[in-house]
Structure 1
Amino acid sequence: MSIHTNIQSTRPRQTTGNQVRPLLMLKSQPKRNAEADAHVDFLRISKRTCCTQQDHASTTGCPEPPYTLPDAVLGKPERKSIYAIMRQHCRSRLYVPPICWTLEHLELLGCEFSSKEVPQNERRRKSPNSDVSQVSDDGTVAVEKMDTTLGYAVRAARLLSRPCAMEGRVSAVISILAACGIEAREMHNSLPFHFDRRIVSIQTDGIFTSESATVSLAYINLDVLHSLRSQHIRQKFLPRTRVRGRLNSPVASLIRKNICRLKPENEIVDPYIVAALIALAQHQYRRREQLRSNTATGVPSTEQENCFPRPFKVHLLAVPGIAARELYLYAARIPPAFLDKFDQPSKFSPSGPISVAYYSLPLRNARKLPKRLLDALCAPVE
């Protein structure tokens, strides 16, 4: 009995006439290094960017400013800069629009509210029987003893203490501020908030200018502010076509949770007020830089350095509720170094803390309101 052993040959089999040779041989590609690919792509992007800048400079004749890549590519931001603070507090939601700011934003930026008493003017101390005291309780005004603008302001103050439409409240605020020499701006009521070459609109109910035609005061109704915040949160969870539609229970619960989280415990110290003051200061800063560039040839550099570095004085008037019992005037002095933090958030700009002073102006005595508001506007700000 013989045992036959079958030995398979390692040679490739010869194809016969009935067998078909495959037309395409698929081979697995070797694994590529992800870091090497990223480096190659980055070099391609850099070369493409440099070529684009050179082409632009050759066609226009003006040098193109260098393209700023994100900090993740160039390196870490400077210590104590806004981007460095965001990375240090990465678990907090800091990179949000101003409508979603919280007290944590103010603390990290070095901003705080402080309640102040309205200082009494020295002229009013010497002459207590001023023109405002000539107004009777029913609102009648003696034309020979009182200016017409001041009489409108007194009646407007009485109107604010009663329930009225939103347009009537805006007209009343315009009349009160007109008695203080502050005029309403005829343009839109939004302020641009600049942050790292990005612009976010700060919605207000009125923007006013002083005698120098510079935007220096904004008016905000706190009830409208709460509505804007709620609308912004609803748009985050729902598309615009379904904002007014019916909500299911989980989504409605998330919306209520976010509204309660962002709603300040005290509406008088709403962080959105600080953002509006910063936007006012940014507007003055850019206007001043424009005037500085226009007059750079005719004014010596020493005089420019002495005139321009002063801080910007900005105000905001807030009206709480439908039938308000008092007005709140906010005042702050914001230096240019603080505004540079928002223009270049990856760089550190040394500046001191910002103190936002606010004054309570009761409406129960409408005859004294215009003068008290004027004293608060003229009060020195730290």
Structure 2
Amino acid sequence: MLTIESLFNSSSFLGQLRAIVHMSSSQAQPDSSERGQPARRNSEVECRRFTIRPITRPEPGSLYDIMHDYAGTMLYVVPICWTDLHSQLLGASFIERPAIATPVPDLDRGISLEPSRMAQTLTSELRNLVRKEASPARAFCKTRAIKRVMSTLFPNTLSRPKTGAELNLYFGQRIFKKVVRIPCLWKSPSGADASFDSCPTLPSTSFSQVPPSAREAGCEYAPNKPMLAYIGRAQLAAIRRNLYGVVRGPNNTPNEPVARLQRLRSKMLIPANPDHDPYIVAILLAMAQAHFYREPSSKSSSQSDGGRKKVRMPPPSFRDIKVQVITHDEGNESSPNFIVYTAVVTKTFLDRFMYPHKAPTPQGGETLATGMSISYTSVGFWPLLGLKERLAKALGREIAGDPMYGDPEHIALWDPLVEPPHTPPYQSFTLKRRRVERDPLAEVLNSSFEEEPPSSPDDRPVLSPAAKRRRTTRPVNTLEVC
């Protein structure tokens, strides 16, 4: 029987044991060339992980300083979620200007003018704008109507709009892509007129009275840059109401507590004064920034990063730029108005978003305006005669061009909107009774039993003698045109 001493005295067993110990020790001790590499890598990772970046303290009055003061308030949000507090903290002020009510045609009492086909089309499109309904189909009809109206009145500058425009918003080195959505956007005309819109517009061949200097009037705009935007109030209100979705509960049951909470959140986005909407501030800012920032490439503009991306871009050279927004009343069919917002976005205001940690400093001891001053004026729809001239006063010479006539109250579109008067042909009557050839009695009796052919293609059989034919078109009131 083998004992433990005999096992240890065995030379073969001891040799195997020494070999196993030697192999384990050689694997545990690495080579001298590789011994320091894992430690060096770990130290590099630790240094990279715990590198302390320099802290840039925001200056008092900068955007970062304002956000620090309102740390518990949601200020760093997309523009559709802006509230009246955003307008207040950014220093955006709305100034109401007197309404533009002239020129209007001066007609003697009792004189009625016959509207032309173009006047009837414009009147129908203006009626579409006034309707209160905010369905997606109605929003599309309103966008098409405003494009037709503006391209007809100002064909040289507003004939090529962009439907469904999406503008970026720049904040420091971050780009918020396509967060400012505009139903219709007009850009400054370029030499090649490269812009294209698939929606149809009215032809403008009959408006030879439009001043040829309209293109030269917008000399302060670079080619193909935003200058006028359209937004519908009913559509904007519908977007805010449906902004926050509610997930239904088990078995497709409604989640009323969450639904009430989301309705309350949507209600907080509604401005106190509809004329002072903070989304208009965002539109004007995005339009002004589009004049100076280069549009990112299509590859980098994907939505995989959630719409936000930090990039390195050279600081642009800002200057004061004029941008405008047009909207209108909805639901007021008696006296509807266009509302034109005009703002000159200053270089100082654009610098605040380029350098959000810096506060604007006045130079030369002058007081520096750090906010945005927005003036708005209303322009009546009716009468249609004179609407072009009234809108031209509100939009300015950059869009309307220089007036062709010395009299600012002159209505240039009288002839295209009013049918020329025509006198009925003169018919001479004599006292002498005409001799009428009478048909034979048999021919009259035979023709009375035959079916009488319809006198016009509009004569259709009706279900009953008391049935009335439905009117397919609404007649245009001459008061709306004249």
Report the TM-score, using the length of structure 1 for normalisation. 0.63
SS at match of 1:372: helix
Match of 2:92 among 91, 108, 111: 111
Structure 2: runs of 5 or more not aligned: 1-43, 190-222, 296-316, 362-367, 399-482
Distance 2:346 2:165 in 1: 24
Q: Show the 5 A alignment for 1:1-382.
A: 43-45=47-49, 74-118=55-99, 139-140=115-116, 153=122, 156-162=125-131, 165-178=138-151, 179-180=153-154, 181-186=157-162, 188-196=164-172, 197-200=174-177, 201-211=179-189, 212-234=223-245, 238=246, 247-286=254-293, 310-321=319-330, 325-350=336-361, 352=369, 353-378=371-396
Residues 341, 310 of structure 1: CA spacing in aligned structure 2 closer, same or farther, 3 A cutoff?
closer
1:367 deviation in Å?
A: 2.5
Counterpart code for 1:224: Q
Aligned residues: 277
Deviation at 1:194, TM superposition (A): 1.8
Please tell me whether Structure 1 or Structure 2 has the larger radius of gyration of its CA atoms: 2
Tell me the distance in 2 between the aligned counterparts of 1:136 and 1:166.
34
Deviation at 1:310, TM superposition (A): 3.8
3-state SS of the aligned residue for 2:73? Answer: coil
Comparing 157-166 and 207-216, the one that deviates more = 157-166
Letter in 1 for 2:87: L
- Whole-angstrom CA distance in 2 between matches of 1:278 and 1:82: 15
Q: Distance in 2 between matches of 1:246 and 1:166?
A: 31
Counterpart-to-counterpart distance in 1, 2:253 and 2:230: 33
The SS at the match of 1:284 is coil
Residues 222-245 of structure 1, C-alpha deviations (whole Å, 9 max, x = no match): 1111122223233xxx46x99xx7
Instruction: State the partner residue of 1:144.
Output: none
TM-score (norm 2): 0.51
Q: CA RMSD in A?
A: 3.4
In structure 2, do the counterparts of structure 1 residues 199 and 88 end up closer, same or farther at CA, with 3 Å as the change threshold? same
Partner amino acid for 2:238? Answer: S
Q: Which amino acid aligns with 1:213?
A: N
* Distance across 2 between alignment mates of 1:359 and 1:339: 25
Distance in 2 (alpha carbons) for counterparts of 1:169 and 1:138: 26
Which runs of 5 or more residues in structure 1 are unaligned?
1-39, 50-68, 142-147, 289-307
Verify the 8 A CA contact 2:165 2:182 in the aligned structure 1: yes
SS at match of 1:375: helix
Are the structure 2 counterparts of residues 168 and 136 from structure 1 closer, same or farther at C-alpha, using a change threshold of 3 Å?
farther
Relative to structure 1, the CA distance from residue 364 to residue 253 in structure 2 (aligned partners, 3 Å threshold; closer, same or farther) is same
Structure 2 CA distance, aligned partners of 1:163 and 1:103?
24
Offset of residue 215 of structure 1: 1.3
CA contact (8 A) 1:189 1:206 kept: yes
Give the structure 2 partner of residue 145 of structure 1.
none
**Distance in 2 (alpha carbons) for counterparts of 1:254 and 1:322:** 29
- Per the alignment, in what secondary structure is the counterpart of residue 229 of structure 2? strand
Deviation at 1:137, TM superposition (A): 6.1
**Distance change in 2, residues 1:138/1:310 (3 Å):** farther
What is the identity, as a one-letter code, of the residue corresponding to 1:157? L
Describe the SS at the equivalent of 2:94: strand
Preserved contact between residue 81 and residue 341 of structure 1 (Cα < 8 Å): yes
Q: Distance in 2 between matches of 1:219 and 1:213?
A: 17
After superposing on structure 2, the runs of 4+ consecutive aligned residues of structure 1 that deviate more than 6 Å are: none
- 1:251, 1:168 → 2: CA distance? 34
As a proportion of its length, which structure holds more helix? Answer: 1
SS at match of 2:231: strand
User: C-alpha distance in 2, partners of 1:137/1:264?
Assistant: 43
Kindly indicate whether the alpha-carbon contact (under 8 Å) linking 2:164 and 2:182 is maintained by their aligned counterparts in 1: no
Tell me the residue number matched to 1:3. Answer: none
> Deviations along 1:249-271, whole A, 9 cap, x unmatched?
21111112112212112212110
Cα displacement string for residues 140-193 of structure 1 (whole angstroms, at most 9, x for unaligned residues): 26xxxxxx6x88655533443356833322122112222133234346421212
Distance 2:344 2:286 in 1: 13
User: For 1:69-101, what per-residue CA distance to the aligned partner results, in whole angstroms no more than 9, with x for missing partners?
Assistant: 6xxx62322221111110012232212211111
